Amino acid sequence: MTSTDPRLVHIGEVVDRTGLSHRTIRYYEEMGLLTPAGRTEGGFRLYDEAGIERLLLVKPMKPLGFTIEQIGELLRALDTVADPDADEARRATAAAVVERTHTSAQERVVELKAATARAEAFTERLTYEMETGPARPR
What does pLDDT average to over the chain? 92
| pLDDT bracket for residue 5 (50, 70, 90) | low
| pLDDT bracket for residue 133 (50, 70, 90) | confident
Topology (CATH) of 1-58: Multidrug-efflux Transporter Regulator; Chain: A; Domain 2 (1.10.1660)
For the chain, the structural domain boundaries read: 1-58, 62-138
Estimate to the nearest angstrom the gap between the alpha carbon of 71 and the chain centroid.
Answer: 8
Residue pair 86/94 in contact (Cβ under 8 Å)? The answer is yes
Weakest-pLDDT range from 3-17, 34-48, 109-123: 3-17
Any residues with CB less than 8 A from the CB of 19 and at least 6 apart, and which?
A: 59
Q: In this predicted model, what pLDDT tens digit does every residue of 63-98 receive, in sequence order?
A: 999 999 999 999 999 999 999 999 999 999 999 999
Is the pLDDT confidence value at 134 over 80?
no
Is the pLDDT confidence value at 6 over 80?
no
Weakest-pLDDT range from 5-9, 26-30, 39-43, 58-62: 5-9
